[in-house]
Chains A and B, each alone.
Chain A
């Protein structure tokens, strides 16, 4: 039985990892755009970013995914499953990521900005050379957690019949009816994929706290 199921699990795993990586990259850019947008000095930009963030944090990924896949076609926008999946995942994670970006930038002490102004740096130099290097380091652990949430979120695309890991498992289960084996293996695969991230986060957190106290 294992000879039959493992290859299809492998195909599903590839889709799941692809989904996670694509969405993570797009979400990363969205997070920075919306995170900086909320700190912008232009009211319109702040309002626009806040609306995006509140809409995608106020509803769940599930509802967003179904809306994009089933409701958008009524406006004439018919997206392939993979595109709909990546779009929903990255818009959702981007909204959560923007809060990470915003809160870490705010948490860089004010004296840093003041010192940069005293040194006659331009606003762009201030951000690039003083604020961001300090904020980026603080962003790493929460971004790691966000990627794990993203990985977990990819399971939902099985419900719009995109053939990721979970979809492969449900199809296998309805044909060979061995739920115990199939769903246990499924859980373990997800756990193994997330391991490098959980380990990485712990390592970074350890490194960051070294020498602090």
Chain B
């Protein structure tokens, strides 16, 4: 059944692909952080069409599957002359999908700021930009950092979906190894254990961070 020799033989190749998985995770996370903040700000905008669009976008993206969104980006955009590599398409898809979740995280942080802070900024004649930059965001982001960390872990776990648009990350490598030898057990088990170990240990780290932030 389980063949240790074979498992040890394929391990280096799977570990090599982990690099792609990790870099896709981080690039997508940056996309999600930036777009998420823009969505939150757009939703709070006084300009109705903009806030309606942001709200609709969040609702739509959150209730449709990431896999289908990736297909859309990867197969539809080339029809309009925008061909993307699997990595770029994957990072955009994953980033946009989770930006809608991070928008809620930012919103939670911003709404927890007491109204007195807004009033004080106004009384001190801060411009809108400065109010956000110097008063609101510096207070609303640190408390939600653990939640963001949890989404980083979630995104890491979701990267195997990018194999569906032919990105050769860890899952795709496992699939190829499996189809070569007709042995899927070792390759998929290694991938599963890797994800479990990495995501569980990082979630413990996030939990520690949460405790430390609560103490202050």
Q: Does A129 contact B (CB under 8 A)?
A: no
How far, in angstroms, from A110 to B157 measured CA to CA in the complex? 36
Question: A195 — which chain B residues lie within 8 A by C-beta?
Answer: 63
Question: B63 — which chain A residues lie within 8 A by C-beta?
Answer: 148, 151-152, 190-191, 194-195, 198
Encoded as 1 (CB less than 8 Å from any B CB) or 0, chain A from 161 to 199 comes to 000001001100100000110011011001100110010
- Size category of the A interface is 35 or more
The reply to whether A156 and B157 form a contact with Cβ atoms under 8 Å apart is no
Question: B72 — which chain A residues lie within 8 A by C-beta?
Answer: 179, 183-184, 187
Encoded as 1 (CB less than 8 Å from any A CB) or 0, chain B from 152 to 173 comes to 0000011011001000000100
Task: Using known A-B contacts A155-B67, A183-B68, determine if residue A59 contacts B157 with beta carbons closer than 8 Å.
Answer: yes
Encoded as 1 (CB less than 8 Å from any A CB) or 0, chain B from 175 to 188 comes to 10010000111001
Q: Does B51 contact A (CB under 8 A)?
A: no
Task: Using known A-B contacts A59-B196, A75-B1, A179-B76, determine if residue A155 contacts B184 with beta carbons closer than 8 Å.
Answer: no
The reply to whether A183 and B75 form a contact with Cβ atoms under 8 Å apart is yes
The reply to whether B64 and A74 form a contact with Cβ atoms under 8 Å apart is no
The reply to whether A62 and B183 form a contact with Cβ atoms under 8 Å apart is no
Encoded as 1 (CB less than 8 Å from any A CB) or 0, chain B from 124 to 168 comes to 000000000000000000000000000000000110110010000
Q: Closest A-chain residue to B197, C-beta based?
A: A58
What is the distance, in angstroms, from A200's C-beta to the closest C-beta of chain B?
Answer: 12
**Interchain Cβ contacts within 8 Å, total number:** 111
Interface class of chain A by DSSP: helix
Question: B62 — which chain A residues lie within 8 A by C-beta?
Answer: 148
Q: Closest B-chain residue to A54, C-beta based?
A: B200
How far, in angstroms, from A17 to B145 measured CA to CA in the complex? 36
Q: Closest B-chain residue to A67, C-beta based?
A: B188
Encoded as 1 (CB less than 8 Å from any A CB) or 0, chain B from 182 to 213 comes to 01110011011001100110010000000000
How far, in angstroms, from A173 to B178 measured CA to CA in the complex? 27
How far, in angstroms, from A74 to B6 measured CA to CA in the complex? 14
The reply to whether A60 and B64 form a contact with Cβ atoms under 8 Å apart is no
What is the distance, in angstroms, from A143's C-beta to the closest C-beta of chain B?
Answer: 15
How far, in angstroms, from A191 to B69 measured CA to CA in the complex? 12
Task: Using known A-B contacts A55-B196, A183-B68, determine if residue A62 contacts B188 with beta carbons closer than 8 Å.
Answer: no
Q: Does B71 contact A (CB under 8 A)?
A: yes
How far, in angstroms, from A156 to B203 measured CA to CA in the complex? 25
Task: Using known A-B contacts A155-B65, A166-B68, determine if residue A74 contacts B1 with beta carbons closer than 8 Å.
Answer: yes
Question: B119 — which chain A residues lie within 8 A by C-beta?
Answer: none
Which of B158, B164, B203 gathers most chain A CB within 10 Å?
B164
**A and B contact pairs by CB, cutoff 8 A, 13 listed:** A58-B196, A58-B199, A60-B157, A63-B192, A63-B195, A64-B192, A67-B188, A71-B185, A151-B65, A152-B64, A159-B164, A166-B71, A195-B63
